[in-house]
Amino acid sequence: MTFAPENCEKFEQLFMAYREKIRATEGCSHLEWWQDIDEPNVYYTFSHWDSVDALNNYKNTETFKTVWPLTKALFAASPKAWSVKMK
């Protein structure tokens, strides 16, 4: 996710405020966030979900419905997301 530089601190505060609620969501077994070394206004969230259904169920929670619009408002570019499976 690419944020306007002046919004990075706002994103960090938002993530810290909601990370435990996200982690406590049924089906979430891992959540962390990373900041790009070369582009410090670029962040990545990395999460493990038990299934695609668990992730989709999270997207219907009040937590997601609160966090996502607040996060989107801070973007400087369209976000990218990937769902992958371990081989």
Q: What is the CATH number of domain 5-72?
A: 3.30.70.100
11-26 per-position pLDDT tens digit:
999 999 999 999 999 9
SS3 letters for 28-42? Answer: EEEEEEEECCCCCCE
Check residue 50 and give its pLDDT.
96
Strand, coil or helix: what is 39? Answer: coil
43-71 per-position pLDDT tens digit:
999 999 999 999 999 999 999 999 999 99
Between CA 45 and CA 64 the distance in angstroms is 14
Q: pTM surpassing 0.85?
A: yes
